[in-house]
Structure 1
Amino acid sequence: MTTATRTPHPSQAPCDRLRSGARRADPWKRQGKRGRKVRTLKKKAKYLFGYDAALAVTRDARYDGVLLDNKTPNPDVLPALVLGVCLDKPGCRPAYNGLKVLSRLRQRGYEPGYLAGDLAYNNSEPNEWQLPVRALGYKPVYDYRINQLGKQAETQGAILVEGTWYCPSMPQPLVDATKDLCAERIDRETWIRLIAARKSYRLMPKENEDPEGHQRVMCPAEAGKVQCPIKPRSMGRGIHLPLVDPEPSPAGPPKVCRQRSITLAPAEGAKHWQALEYGDGEWQKIYFRLRNSVEGYNGYAKNPLAEAIEASGTRRIRGIAAQTILLVFQLAHANRRKIKNWVETLALNGERPRRRTHHRRRTKPLGSWTPTGYLAPTG
């Protein structure tokens, strides 16, 4: 499983930057409403010098870092490692740099899997990131900005809600569930129930994707997930199935309701489409494991007592080519250090490990007893 991350411009995420140099506030003035000049300072300071590092970090998202019964790591689950890196100007071409790293990994024979990155990637143009990534065989798993939540696209009557295609008559509270959570109109327990209720309205695949990325999908009434009066044969299947209430229209029902199945092209809703249903247990397990691995590796390689890749003093030479070469050596050393520490904690052939494994608490945290706002553990 592979995940990509971008080390963004310092003004976006200071915890992920690689930088050198100083910063300054904007000295320019602007006109006030009444014509008087008002001196203002930018809220986000601008760094004069620095580079963005796009890192490709790999890990097996099927497993957590849970210890075996003998309190040692599972030897079949490798630690998260960096497989590729690309340096560029701050905030410049994140999609191009990430795609360049992923393409080289495919050329070297690495199998694609789930792919997660920060918001700079899925905010790119579809023909620069989303579509090429899917063409390489990766299955993207995204989070979204606040203004990208809810309904994102529509085709043939079907609606794209947070990356997944649904029935056009899905109730509005289900469509706006995440928006209501962010606006604090509902709590997390209610949000979890609403996300689970979306599954009945999802368009179900009828066939696998063809080599060009097109796929036939069925209306949920045809798949036996809901009851819909437009499809009389779906009625009377039991009260356990939701009853759809289509909105009447002078033009009649949309194509997805008239036909038994429709074809979805890869370009339709490509900017926000993702392989998993946003917010459900599988999405939480895959997305957060991948993102946590990226952030964890960043902190591991920034250790001031080890590689200290964030400190400009560890690479005292100018030029993006020279900086890239030195950074690659630092990351390779971080990989080697991580593998060495992992091997020394394994209990192989019944022998005791050379190093003591970090103790993980098995008791419930204090937050487990909160009445609301608790996300149940998954997987």
Structure 2
Amino acid sequence: MTPQQAAAAEQFDRHMLETTGYTYGEYERVHDAGPSAPEHVQLYGQLVDESGAVDMLQQWDEEDRKASSGRKPLINFRATLTLYLMHTDGGNQRYWDVARTLSARLTDESFDYLDIKERNGSKDDWYHRYWRAVNRILRLTSPWEVPRNSFLTAIGYQRALEAYSQQRRDRMDQLMNALLHAAVRRLPADIRSTYKGNVAIDATLLAIAGRPNPGEKYNDRDRVNLDAMSGAYTRKGKHKGKGKRTDLAGWEAETVVTVPNAPGQPDSFPVLTTGLTLHQPGRIKHGPLIAIEHHTRLFEERGFIMADRAYNGLRADRFQNPTRKLGFRAVYKYKDNSTGKQGAIDDVILVDGCLYVRWMPEALATASHDYLFKKSIDRETYHKRLQKRTAYRLLEKGRPDADGYQRFTFPDLSKLMCIDPATGKRVKPELANRTFTLGPTNQASMTIIKSLQTFEYRSEKWYAWQGLRSHVESNNQYLKDDSHTDLGNPSKRRPRGYSSQGLAVAAAATVANIRRIVTFVTNKAKRVLEPKQLRARRRTDETGTRLEHLSPTEPPQQQ
């Protein structure tokens, strides 16, 4: 082994220990051993402990409990979440599979670790015990109290809407993000320190079995899906279905992921889910900001937000302005009919998301609209106009501050052909100030903030940065893939209701985060090490003697 390989091997072992508590070869054996290995149980139990989720649930349980009396649960919150994560990682968290584990697979050591006193019982007994344990969590985090085994009438649906609990919905958001954040915090410190703050956001469908419920305009109709509060998804437009037979029943998970530090640097930072919430399909008024805010509780760095056109279509006070106050800058895509002039203040106009002086020639201001929507100019003419208008652009001076204010500098007008927009004649305007300050002060400024972005639309830089948005789409597909956590399989998410689906997506994202960190550090090591060197036993005792390989039932020795 060369000195370079030795250093890479030492770093790889350290990365794996920080992420999983094991070296690569040990992790593979513990992971593959499944529930029969106490180390496998402890792998996820430690993650639950680090999340703080158990303390949250216990506090909420005390807040909601009407009396201190009652039967003590056989399976506590910690054991329930541990079993749920374990089986999500195994690709099957259905109640019967967990019951099989509890009745035939767990060792006495694992029962002790999970603090489950009862050891006896048939698979049916364990099914009902585990069902009750999961439902204790669901009751604490369910915004609507509705039956899950019968169809809800229109009157029942109206009552459920009126009894909606924002507090319990907030609890579910806290629980979901506490779990996935515990996994992200396993990211090795030296990799964590390289993060530049870039994120991408998107929503992904969690399809469920059954017909889609009527759309939000038809609240006076009976529900046709046993998951009464689920929505209808359509592939068209904003994905907000009306309940047609061509629509799909389900929920949407709003996900925020970290992306590489710059275009062309795919190995600069791992793609991890860092913000998560759940909503009915197409109803994204509040979910995007909630997911972003949960991301910011984990990372202080602020870079760019890559988003599709659904997000800059939101009201500015619900997403664009709050994210600017958090320190983010945006990279948006627009509908073709929304390109061109988008707003104006004093001597400044907003064109395709960027600020320009108002004396820019009209043909340059309408270039994207003419090419993309009107189809009145050809591609070559369009790109020539994009290049020419760069000279008229105001440049950013720093990032937005905590109040959403940001300064820009004007170009040198003496070197530009300036046209009076009112008369169409050439003029020589004089600026009172060399800088322009944009802040959320009035409707005109909020109109600009709604569509404002950093890079000139459809420029090489814009294409490069907007391309990073594909990472959130691929991450959502990764969660759904049957070779990973199989979140896309409705039969693996049979329990109905908002909280059931929320717990499923949170567990999938948590498990996926650990896997993606392991993959990232492994790929980094592979650039230097040979396959056999990845699994080589390098851990030593205090005398420098190499430790024996870990068996699936043998805990790792402390160094």
Question: Do both proteins adopt the same fold according to a TM-score greater than 0.5, normalized to the shorter chain?
Answer: yes
Task: Give the TM-score normalised by structure 2.
Answer: 0.49
- The Cα of 1:5 is off from its aligned counterpart by 2.5
Aligned residue in 2 for 1:195 = 386
Q: Which runs of 5+ in 1 are unaligned?
A: 8-15, 27-41, 67-73, 227-233, 235-240, 357-379
Aligned counterpart in structure 1 of residue 354 of structure 2, from 164, 168, 173: 164
Aligned counterpart in structure 1 of residue 208 of structure 2, from 9, 17, 20: 20
Kept in 2, the 8 Å contact 1:345–1:354? The answer is: no
Kept in 2, the 8 Å contact 1:95–1:121? The answer is: no
Aligned residue in 2 for 1:261 = 434
CA distance in 2, matches of 1:57, 1:205: 26
One-letter amino acid of the structure 1 residue matched with residue 352 of structure 2:
E
One-letter amino acid of the structure 2 residue matched with residue 351 of structure 1:
L
The aligned runs of 1:83-102 (5 Å cut-off) are 83-92=274-283, 94-102=284-292
One-letter amino acid of the structure 2 residue matched with residue 5 of structure 1:
I
Query: Aligned with 1:326: secondary structure?
Result: helix
Mapped pair 1:334 → 2:508:
no
- The Cα of 1:258 is off from its aligned counterpart by 4.5
Kept in 2, the 8 Å contact 1:149–1:162? The answer is: yes
Aligned counterpart in structure 2 of residue 243 of structure 1, from 391, 394, 417: 417
Query: Aligned with 1:50: secondary structure?
Result: strand
Aligned residue in 2 for 1:277 = 456
CA distance in 1, matches of 2:387, 2:285: 32
Which structure has the larger Rg over C-alpha atoms? 2
- Note the alpha carbon deviations across 1:115-149, whole angstroms, 9 max, x for none: 02222221111111111011111111111112210
Q: Write 1 or 2 for the structure with the bigger share of strand.
A: 1
- The Cα of 1:209 is off from its aligned counterpart by 5.4
One-letter amino acid of the structure 2 residue matched with residue 3 of structure 1:
V
Query: Aligned with 1:195: secondary structure?
Result: helix
Structure 1 ranges of 4+ moved more than 4 A:
23-26, 42-46, 205-211, 353-356
The aligned runs of 1:360-371 (5 Å cut-off) are none
Kindly tell me: are residues 327 and 216 of structure 1, through their superposed partners in 2, closer, same or farther at Cα, counting changes over 3 Å?
Answer: closer
Kindly tell me: are residues 81 and 25 of structure 1, through their superposed partners in 2, closer, same or farther at Cα, counting changes over 3 Å?
Answer: closer
Kindly tell me: are residues 335 and 247 of structure 1, through their superposed partners in 2, closer, same or farther at Cα, counting changes over 3 Å?
Answer: closer
How many residue pairs get matched? 303
Task: Give the TM-score normalised by structure 1.
Answer: 0.70
Q: Write 1 or 2 for the structure with the bigger share of helix.
A: 2
Mapped pair 1:138 → 2:316:
no
- The Cα of 1:79 is off from its aligned counterpart by 2.5
Kept in 2, the 8 Å contact 1:159–1:168? The answer is: yes
Kept in 1, the 8 Å contact 2:327–2:401? The answer is: no
Query: Aligned with 1:17: secondary structure?
Result: strand
Aligned counterpart in structure 1 of residue 492 of structure 2, from 310, 314, 317: 314
- The Cα of 1:295 is off from its aligned counterpart by 1.5
Q: Which runs of 5+ in 2 are unaligned?
A: 1-196, 215-241, 535-559
The aligned runs of 1:12-91 (5 Å cut-off) are 16-23=204-211, 47=247, 49-64=249-264, 74=267, 77-91=268-282
Aligned residue in 2 for 1:376 = none
CA distance in 1, matches of 2:255, 2:432: 45
One-letter amino acid of the structure 1 residue matched with residue 450 of structure 2:
K
Kept in 1, the 8 Å contact 2:206–2:253? The answer is: yes
CA distance in 1, matches of 2:430, 2:401: 23
Residue identity over aligned pairs, in percent, reads 28
Kept in 1, the 8 Å contact 2:394–2:410? The answer is: yes
The aligned runs of 1:109-128 (5 Å cut-off) are 109-128=299-318
Kept in 2, the 8 Å contact 1:344–1:355? The answer is: no
Kindly tell me: are residues 342 and 215 of structure 1, through their superposed partners in 2, closer, same or farther at Cα, counting changes over 3 Å?
Answer: closer
One-letter amino acid of the structure 2 residue matched with residue 57 of structure 1:
V
Aligned residue in 2 for 1:214 = 405
CA distance in 1, matches of 2:396, 2:524: 43
RMSD: 3.3
